[in-house]
Structure 1
């Protein structure tokens, strides 16, 4: 039997599942950073990680429901999240600077993929999914911006 290339609709659902997995892994990373942050900017970072994590967590449901709207199947098994995600799950003890850098790198991955995924959705004639990606990428860009500001000055407050 010869395998056929996935349809554009199937490709869109695949992108939604990856984005859903990325959102949950990113949320879990944010919880780690929230719990383990320390130093002179503790309060600011503790609250920022909580706020940004909550915004990312809300995306999990939006992405899963969009997949269902397209007659797709969202990720439902917890064991499927890590192998589907393309962002890095945080491991080990990190400095605050490493936490921020890791979060920025994950946002970079998500932003790049969402730009590509919006193009796939547009090619498939799925303006709803393209719009979802356009809206969500703006949230990730804002998160990246806020995080980059902590590293911008190099004033030694983030160790």
Structure 2
């Protein structure tokens, strides 16, 4: 547990510093001292960790989900960070998702066809295909969420 605890504390500290200590205090309702204890490597605070609701609040305001990513890494899970943060919710629901899905798939196929012109996929072409695949995956996730909302 010592290695895992230390790892999580480092990522907790990165999260608090990403948000800023004062804003972190305001968001979580915790004092600077309490937040400091969550990432302190002193033996007396070895068993103190930030509550998950506080992590969620801070990660909503951070530039990166530090603690969530650390937990995923510890479990051997890879995450794709979706840094899209639209100013307003998308409207249109599933119908718009189907259109976006077909457009994104067309982009993936165009990228694939261009990559295969010479019969092999280079590293840069693979990176572009991976990016298109990830964007297609994001459309599918949006569609899944909209279907869940519409089905109640």
Q: Which range, TM-score by smaller chain?
A: 0.3 to 0.5
Report which of the two structures shows the higher radius of gyration computed on alpha carbons: 2
> TM-score, structure 1 length as denominator?
0.32
Question: Which structure carries more relative contact order (alpha carbon 8 Å, separation 6+)?
Answer: 1
